[in-house]
Structure 1
């Protein structure tokens, strides 16, 4: 069987990697995770490092606006902080462009996102819905829209491939459809074969991080469980850890 097995997978020489799972509006969890990671970096003094966020910064949790503000600041302060797109982040952009009362944003946590911008989306009345959507579009800073539009869909370091949801088996990693990278589930989750690289992802909440031969899932549903999970990779060493709200 070709491909990379988790046990043999290595990060790039001289670069410590941190991959952080779905944040979903939990700004305090994200800030604490960064505090912990930076404390490790200061203590251990790795030659280089990257912090990779796996998407879904908005919806469901209480402070999506604060999460985006935090990430913009972190990425401006150091370009070794990376952020990938999740389906909820793309859904937020789509809602701002074309509000849909039956779409992902309105049905799965977007009302909490709007609330973090000081706007209550009214789904009960068509006129009030249009008015509240216009208010939300006005309330979202241009820098937030630019941040969301600028999110990449994947990153590769060493023997690891990072994305939000997963990959389509049988398609090479450099030819993956962005829609699959933010949306795929069963065909990826049920695939037992090895990939070209070990896939590190979120998107599908799990009670405990999943570590399989071909993938690692670090989505611990922070908005619900109170735990935000990360994977650290340093050469051949891999470890999972979490912060709790």
Structure 2
């Protein structure tokens, strides 16, 4: 659902659910833990249309990047989008196409296990880069500390567990949490997903573009960014007009439609709630969307 704000802009939100403005204690500042609707004021402006646009940045000749936003357990959206990407590559030959996924493959949607399976299969047929999102961080926090389950459930962890067939009637019992973590770890290994999730990258650079899940901290060189900022930062990044050294392509903060700014491009269109999974296409100095 899209809520209008007094300034005329819009904010993506889902009634009764926490969207990614909330992170557990110990992983972000107090400001990071406030809701998107309370904190993030991102006007809907300069929206892309289906035509190709030019940017004052480029990637090398012969390379085309397909960047895909937060999937959040929506395999039903991922599968047709990947088919569209393959059709686009066939229709417009390029020697070196690269698919970049911006993280948050898990939680909230009903099919996290199926999403990971689709991504793993995609890596066998094309060049891919899989970035880490804060929700993948939550998964590993639960495996390391089963008591983290209570926090993870607030962010859609129950949907992930169910997709792997992990259920219980008592999520608050400490012993049950330990058993769930053991069962979940086993399921990840049995499906071949543990190694996949363990190998996710915090960022990726291609030409004049820097790909990351959440964003970067202004004033800090890109090669010195902390993983916490790369996975969770919001206000300091979103409201900054600074030149980050490269154009940052990111997700993490849901917006009604992709946003193009002079220093960043946001392609998280809240797929789990809106049914809209976005794909940004970059080639030389041109930008378009699928």
Q: What TM-score do the two structures reach when normalised by structure 2? A: 0.77
2:63 to 15, 19, 22: 15
- What's the CA shift for 1:124? 3.9
Residue 287 of structure 2: SS of its match in structure 1?
strand
1:72 corresponds to which residue? 120
Deviates more, 1:205-214 or 1:108-117: 205-214
1:4-43 matches, within 5 Å, as 7-43=55-91
Name whichever of 35-44 and 129-138 sits farther off: 129-138
2:162 matches 1:110: no
Which position in structure 1 is the counterpart of 2:35? none
CA distance in 1, matches of 2:145, 2:173: 17
Q: Indicate conservation of the 8 Å contact 2:68/2:278, yes or no.
A: yes
**1:1-245 residue pairs with structure 2 within 5 A?**
7-78=55-126, 80-101=127-148, 104-121=151-168, 122-141=170-189, 143-241=192-290
Runs of at least 5 residues in structure 1 that lack an aligned partner in the other structure:
1-5
Distance in 2 (CA, whole Å) between partners of 1:76 and 1:93 is: 25
Contact 1:167–1:188 (CA<8 Å) still a contact in 2?
yes
Structure 1 CA distance for aligned equivalents of residues 91 and 179 of structure 2: 51
- Partner SS, residue 146 of structure 2: coil
CA–CA separation in structure 2 for the residues paired with 1:63 and 1:189:
30
Partner SS state of residue 59, structure 1: coil
CA RMSD of aligned residues (A): 1.6
Using structure 1 for the length normalisation, give the TM-score. Answer: 0.91
Distance of 2:150 and 2:279 partners within structure 1: 29
